[in-house]
Every structure is written in C-alpha cells, then in structure tokens.
Structure 1
Amino acid sequence: MLPLALTQGDPAGVGPLATLLAWRKLRKTADCAFYLRGSPDILADRARAAGLEVPFADIQQPGDALSVFENALPILPLDTPSVSAGVPSIDTAASIIASIQECVQDVMSGKASAIVTNPIAKSLLKSAGFKHPGHTEFLAELAGRAVDSPAPLPVMLLVGGGLRVALATIHMPLRAVPDALSTEHIQTVSRIVLEALPRLFGEHEARLGVCGLNPHAGEDGMLGAEDENIIKPAIHQLQYDGYAVTGPRPGDTVFHEMLEGRYDAVLAMYHDQGLIPVKTLDIWGGVNITLGLPFIRTSPDHGTAYDAAASGKVRPDSLIAALRQARQMATHKLDYDNAHEG
C-alpha cells in the first residue's frame, strides 16, 4: 500500500502540532503511514514548544515514508517562511498552495494512495490572489489540469457520529442556494455519491436519503416549490435508473433515519443543513471528504483554529480520523478495482 500524502495547511494554524500528535498516535500503525510536504523547521519549533520529542526523517520521495514511519515523521521539505503559532502571515501563502499542488502531483502520478489536507485560511489565501472559495474547488481545478480536461464536479461529504452527509451546494450564501439547485445538478451529485459508496466505502447496495430544501420538505408545495419542482423529479429519475433513493425527506428527521440504518448516506441541500448534525454528534472526530475527484481526499473537519495553535491546546482527533478514513477508502478502492478488473 502506498503512503498517504499530508499537506502542511496554514503553518500558523493547528496543522503542524496536530501532525506531530497524529504521528505519535499512528506511528505503530503501518497501514496509516503518511508523509508531510512542509517545513521541518516549523515542525521542530512546534515540537519544542509543546515539549514533544519527535524525530524527523527528510525523505527523497514519497515511497521512502513506508520504511521510516515507525521511527520518524517523514517529511518532504518545502521552503516556508518562519511563522509563529497563531499569527498568520501572507508570506506563507505560496508554500501553502505549493504543498497542495505537490501532494496532488504525488497522488496523480501513483506515488501516494490519497491526500489528507491540513486546514487553510481562505481569507489569507484570497488576500494573496487565491481565486477559489476553498480547498475543495482548488483540488477540482488541479485534478482537471493534470489530465488537461475541465475540472470535475467536487462533492463534499462529511463523515462523523455515524452519519455520512453529502452536500448539493458547498460554499455560498444561503440566499443563493435555491437558484443553485436544479434537477440535473441533484441527479449528478446523487450519482457521484451512489457510485462512490460501493467503491470507497464497501456499501455494495448503496441507499441514499435526499433531504428537502424547505421545512417539512415543502409540505406539498405550501412551504416552497423547490422540493416539488426540482428535487422530487430528480429523485424519480434516479429511481427509474435503478438507484435506491428516497425523498425528499424533511431535514428534521432524515438524519435520524440514517442513524436507524435506512440509508448509507444523506444528501443535504446546503452547507449548514448537512454540517450541523455531523458536528453536533462528533465535533472532534468529523472528517471532510471530497468525492468526484480522480483521487481520494480527506481533511479534518475544522479550520486553522489560530487561538488553539497559539495556546498549544490542540486536539488531533479529527486529523487522525481523516488519516484513518483515507486509508480505509484507499483499501476499499483497491479491493473494488481488483474485483472489477476487465
């Protein structure tokens, strides 16, 4: 199994210390071997401040991580300006972006099995000319650029607390959501989720619960027309095509229904509709996954948390969960692809 590629994220955030703590937790877990594309100096500084003894190994290529992981944290060094924990600097923007780009190159060239991304601050990168709403959209562009084709449609999937929740829309104001929804778009997103469930999660009879947009899923059009006119036709077409899809279901019950075992994933219509239940059930251990890309990508389900970085009070739970989730998905993918060869 190839190693996991871990981006450095914002070096002023919790990423460096979380990386150190994650390695200490996972170092004896050979199948979770990862390497960091980042700054050894910043990691060493965070280790000293936290009183951690963490040996580092500067490696030459991703595959070298496998032989050293148990005894040292593997690093592919990346020039990064010095920055204090909790004090973001625009000077680090280029290295943050470079780490993401290089990890994408690693996985697209078959040198890593998946990408795990440490948190970035979108506002900091935007001030440096970054034109993407977030990680997810940037990764989609890089994936398209690598094969000289349009960027694929990225689908955000959150995992935690027994839930898998995909989003029909991602980073946009709430008032823009209804206009962003269409029957075709909901079908496309649903298919991406339904086709990922067997390949990446081992759910071979995938079932999807689709959440309505409006209260009570529109209540037969009395509380908004989108559920009747946009979402329901998408579900009918998916059912006609042979997919196990249910909905639109009210947002106040669909997540409980998944916990009861009725679905393998839920499709929410907008960001907070999907993230609130996941974070309520598992605020520390949630994982953000991007479906629709030609590679596996996971991320801790939190931001840079500069205050926590400055105080040194960092919990690595979500990063550890993201690394484990990436490994599980890579294993499922390998098994699925081997079973369906030819």
Structure 2
Amino acid sequence: MKANPLLLCSMGDPAGIGWPILKEIIENKRVYLKEKEQNLLKYFIVVGDLLKSDEKWISRYFEVLPISGKKFTVKELSLFLSKRNPRKQKPIFLALGHNSFELGKPNVHAALRSYIYFKQCLYLWQGLPNCALLTLPVSKEWISKTGKNFTGHTAELSKTYHQNGVMCMHHSKLSIIPLTEHIPIAKVPEAIYQVPYPAIAKALLQLETLKRKKLKIAMLALNPHAGEGGALGKEEDFLREKILFLQKQNLAIEGPFPADSFFMNYKDYDVVLAQYHDQGLIPFKMISGFSGVNITLNLPKMRVSPDHGTAYLQAQKGEYDIKSVLVAMRLAWKWSLAWQQSFSSPSLSP
C-alpha cells in the first residue's frame, strides 16, 4: 500500500500574509485543488494559535487538537493519527494557544509566536516518517527583536540536521541557487570563498534525482563582464576552479557568465548558480511571477515555502496572490515521498 504523505505547516507570522492565503485555499478547496489534492488535506497539519478572529472558522474547517501547556511529542501525534477515523476529511490544527493579532501590524509577540510554531513543527517533522514541512513566511527582523538568534529557516534546518542546507528558488521554468544567502552585499566578495561546494554538488545531484533528468546548469560571475579578463576582479578565476570541481561530479555546468546579459537566454538552462541573493532572486521573481517556491536541498526530508515574505501591508489591505503557497503545497505532495530516496551521500571526486 502506498504511504500517504503528511504535510506539516508552520502558521508563520500571524500578522502577515501567509495565514490569510492558507485560509483562502482551505475554504475554497474545490476551486483551487484537484479532487486528489482535496483528499490529501486529511494529511495536512497546521501548527499555530487559535486566533480570536478566526477561532470559529478554524473549528469549522479543521479538526482541532489543543496542545498548549505541554510538550506535544511525535509519539502522541502518531497515536492520534493512527486512531483517527479514516473517513474524516478535514485537515488538522495543532493549537499551541489562544491569541489575538491584527493583520498587517507586526509586533514582537506575533514574531515570537511564529518562531514557536516553527520550532514545534521542526521537532515533529524530524520524527514523523513520510512528512514534508511547509513554512509560511516569518520576519527575520521582528524575530531578532525578540532576542532570538534567527537568520532564516534554511540556517535553522541546517543546524538541526548538521548539514549544509542549500537554498533553491524553484519554478517549472528555472531554479536559482544563491551561493551566498542573507548577508550584506559588502561581505559577498569574501563569502564566495567560503561556499561549501561539496554540499552544492550534492544538492544539484539531489535535484536531478527529483526532476528525473540531467540538468543543464549555469554559474553567474561576480564582477561585471565576468571580470573582463581580470581587469575588473580576480574572483572569476576561483569560480572557474569550482566549475571544474562540479564538472568532475558529473554535473553539466558552464560559466561563469556575465550576469547583466545572461537572462536574455536563460531558457537554455535548468538551474542557475548566483553569487549573491539579489543577483539571482530579482530575475527569478520576474520570471516566476507569484508561482515560485523556496526549497531546501541537501536535507534528508523536504522543506518548502512560498517565495515571498510576510507582506504586512498587503495583509492589512486584504490584497494577496495565493499561487506561491498553492504551488508549495502541490510540490510537497509531489516530491515528499521521493525526497528521502533522493537524499544520499555520494562519494565526490576531489
């Protein structure tokens, strides 16, 4: 019998855009989801707070399991799932508490709750078999104001699994891997020398397994005109060495290409390695619209999120696009069971 994929979802910042988008999808599932996807909602588990403004709505559309005031274990959740009536079609809401937040009004308390939702999800996700993790947007700025040392989901996941998790912005047209992530632009030239290329190689091999195809990969240069033969910088000499390393891993990679003109012909490639965040994400978001997602490669289990942030202003106005969250859910259902098989530790060539 084929296993059913569990999809565990962190509520994200309750003052942000993620929760209203999820509500829209759940309430109008017959509009947005295919019949098979609607059936998978019974294996969809949200971790968050019962919000005062939404408590009746949550009780209507979810099977609520209060878990506040105690450490809720993997064993307890597994037991609950095993005893659950298989005919029940509602998704599950694990309620950590009761709270009240105003959409579009970020604050320290909402940020701290979003961090707590994520940490509870992280604990459960590690122990549940056949389980993917969907993280709705949080604010690194506001979480940092709570005193937590939080630089993003990818970094937390990497620490949890003692792996170099690799951020990948994924779309059916193109995937972008920023080799350096959330750091000041002034630190990028030094940081490119610290990129863990063995992890990048494993991530690309994992993506090939998931997509079931040989990927054509491009690397962007750091400097204008790819360094102009050294006249505008020497970093490209180092990048060429790393391209040779990746080619030895049986990866079809070319470059480094000048970033200013590369995206005129991006359709010739499946994956692009960008040297820094905005170099890759600006064109990615122009290409993907609201349909891109963020996946964390080089981990043994699947994590996915929408490619946008908390968007407090749009949340306050009630203006949002559901596509990225919807695509994230669909990709999790598609790849979750195959993900663990795709993760391996191949012997890399020196």
Q: Structure 1 length as normaliser, TM-score?
A: 0.84
Query: What is the aligned counterpart of 2:188 among 177, 198, 203?
Result: 177
SS at match of 1:152: coil
Q: Deviations over 1:309-331 (max 9, x none)?
A: 11222322111111112222214
Corresponding residue of 2:299: 293
In the TM superposition, what whole-angstrom CA distance separates every residue of 1:254-304 from its partner, at most 9, and x where no partner exists?
4444413xx331111100011011111223111111112232111111111
CA distance in 2, matches of 1:311, 1:67: 39
Give the 3-state SS of the residue equivalent to 2:310 in structure 1.
coil
Distance 1:268 1:259 in 2: 16
Alpha-carbon distance in 1 for matches of 2:335, 2:101? 34
What does 1:92-107 align with in structure 2 at a 5 Å threshold?
92-107=110-125
List gaps (5 residues or longer) in structure 1.
145-150
Alignment partner for residue 133 of structure 1, among 132, 141, 151?
151
Q: Quote the residue 1:147 is aligned against.
A: none
- Please say if 1:248 is aligned against 2:263: no
Find the aligned partners of 2:47 and 2:138 in 1 and give their Cα distance: 14
- Structure 1 partner of 2:33: 26
The code of the aligned residue for 1:140 comes to S
Does 2:225 align with 1:216?
A: yes
Structure 1 counterpart of 2:280: 274
Return the offset for 1:57: 1.1
- Do residues 329 (structure 1) and 335 (structure 2) align? yes
| 1:3 matched residue in structure 2 | 6
SS of 1:100's partner is helix
Partner Cα separation in structure 2 for residue 46 and residue 134 of structure 1? 32
CA drift at 1:138:
1.9
Counterpart selection for 2:247 from 233, 239, 244: 239
Deviation, 1:67, is 6.6
C-alpha distance in structure 1 between counterparts of 2:240 and 2:196, whole Å: 10
Shift of 1:166: 0.4
Count of matched residue positions in the alignment of Structure 1 and Structure 2 = 323
Which 4+ residue blocks in structure 1 deviate beyond 4 angstroms?
45-48, 65-71, 334-337
**Unmatched runs of 5 consecutive residues or more in structure 2:** 66-75
- The 2-side partners of 1:57 and 1:80 are apart by 16
State the distance in 1 between where 2:115 and 2:290 align.
26
Structure 1 Cα separation of the partners of residues 55 and 34 of structure 2: 20
Q: Aligned Cα RMSD in Å?
A: 2.9
**What is the deviation of 1:253?**
4.1
CA shift for structure 1 position 234? 0.9
Which letter does structure 2 place at the counterpart of 1:9?
G
Q: List aligned pairs for 1:15-94, cutoff 5 A.
A: 15-23=18-26, 24=29, 25-26=32-33, 28=35, 29=37, 30-31=39-40, 33-41=43-51, 44=54, 55-59=61-65, 61=77, 64=81, 71-94=89-112
User: Which SS does the other structure have where 2:97 is aligned?
Assistant: coil
Q: Which residue of the partner structure matches residue 164 of structure 2? A: 153
The amino acid of 2:327's aligned partner reads A
For 2:231, give the aligned amino acid.
M
Q: Following TM superposition, by how much is the alpha carbon of 1:68 offset from its aligned partner in structure 2, in angstroms?
A: 7.5
Q: 1:189 to 1:41 in 2, by over 3 A?
A: same
Contact residue 180 and residue 195 of structure 2 kept, 8 A: no
Deviations 1:134-186 (A, max 9, x none): 22212222x23xxxxxx32121111236110001000011111010012x726
In the TM superposition, residue 117 of structure 1 has moved relative to its aligned partner by 0.5
Residues 27, 71 of structure 1: 8 Å contact kept: no
Structure 1, 170-179 or 15-24: larger mean CA deviation = 15-24
Cα distance change on mapping 1:14 and 1:45 into 2, 3 Å = farther
